[in-house]
Amino acid sequence: MTSLLPPPPSVVHPVLVGFSGGLDSTVLLHWLATSPAQRTAGLRAVHIHHGLQEQADAWTVHCTQLCARWNIPLRVIRVQVPRHQGQGLEAAARHARREAFASQLLPGEHLALAHHRDDQAETFLMRALRGSGVDGLASMQVTSAFGAGTVWRPLLEVPRSALRAHAQAEGLEWIEDPSNASDDADRNFLRLHVLPQLRQRWPQADAAFARSAALCAQSQHLLDSADRDALERCSVGPGVIDCARLLRQPLERRARLLRHWVRGSGLPPLPAAGVEAVERELLPAAHHADAQFAWQGARIRRWRGQLHLLSASLALPADWSVHWDGRAPLALPDGGELRLLGTDAGFDSPVQIRARRGGERIQLPGRTHSHALKDLLQQQGLPPWQRRQLPLLFDEDTLLAAGDRVIGAALQPWLLAHHAQLQWTPGAA
């Protein structure tokens, strides 16, 4: 093994290698395969078949044969890359690849990717050209949380020239993707035209950019620590921020807190337009205002002086209906749950559970007339989006309860007699 590559790590984890068959991932897989400790801990590979090149099937055969020769288990995943969603083919392929990787990664496993120092320099330049701040310029990290495990880039400080030297010294075979020779993609344009020019004047340009990315990452870690402390002071519950507390923070800190808040939820990153909308429309709104900003299946909604981070899909389907005997927890379509506590026998007979459809009325204990469910939920202060998640319990046409928020006269005596109670947990973002 060439001395330009670091020795395989002494502390090993089960590893899944993202294996395209190109030079970089071939060197990565070979490097890990030479470590007996890594093979003992677990080493396997995954090849993503995008179907974007005519040679895609041949590439799959190459990867399969190479892994068989090296005695490494390989999983081939075929993905469909959407071409007309406005994000560009390169970005769409990257997103599809990440989803495929996440679906294959086991708990505690490391996803090893073959990014190297030249990739880091390209990423730094790309993000600088997009006007990124410290977080973006930090570029790629050696390790970061991903799916059920961790993304691991063990060769991030190694130049591409060292990978090529290793491959040639070991007699490795790899795939040459013809799209890499095209400068249509922005990253390829930087690789083929910009960086070679920079290297002529500054031979260590790649190392300098990588070093700047590392310094930005250090600053990001310090800022992230302060962000976590400030966010904890502004939060009033999971996914909920108090507007008044947030407004006490400096403008620049608020932008960081909002991005940190969203990033920690697992939802798509908050775009710059989202930060601007929160500052311009949500934070200045009146206390009882109901304003929101939505993006990529997520949204931030202001309600009663608080910002709520939500998934845009949180609602029970209008036509959803099941029968439930109460003996086991009932999983709801929004990811929530309904339980009957205090008794293992369940109801005397199954009740119907369905979503709100509007116009429901319920008779409360001690009352002789019925009330509009809508009015009762408003009086309770239940957020509007949770009202669409609320499971209703029926006995034929009689509304027995709305989750655990409103218990009707027809159900309350039974609950008291059996020392039982309902517990509703709504789905969350």
Q: Would you say 326 is a known binding-site residue?
A: no
Q: Would you say 20 is a known binding-site residue?
A: yes
23-43 as b/e: b if 16+ CB within 10 A: bbbbbbbbbbbebeebbebbb
- Within 8 A by CB and 6+ apart from 286, the residues are none
Q: Would you say 307 is a known binding-site residue?
A: no
In 3D space, the residue among 321, 320, 326 whose CA is nearest the CA of residue 424 turns out to be 326
> In one letter, which amino acid is 168?
Q
Radius of gyration of the chain from its Cα atoms, rounded to whole angstroms: 28
Give the DSSP per-residue string, 22-74. BHHHHHHHHHHHT-HHHHHH-EEEEEEE---STTHHHHHHHHHHHHHHHT--E
> What residue spans of 190-250 are helical by DSSP H?
195-201, 205-234, 243-247
Q: Would you say 22 is a known binding-site residue?
A: yes
Q: How far apart are CA 136 and CA 152, in angstroms?
A: 18
The angle that helices 160-170 and 117-129 make with each other, rounded to 10 degrees, is: 150
Binding residues for ATP: 20-25
Which residues contribute to the annotated binding site?
20-25
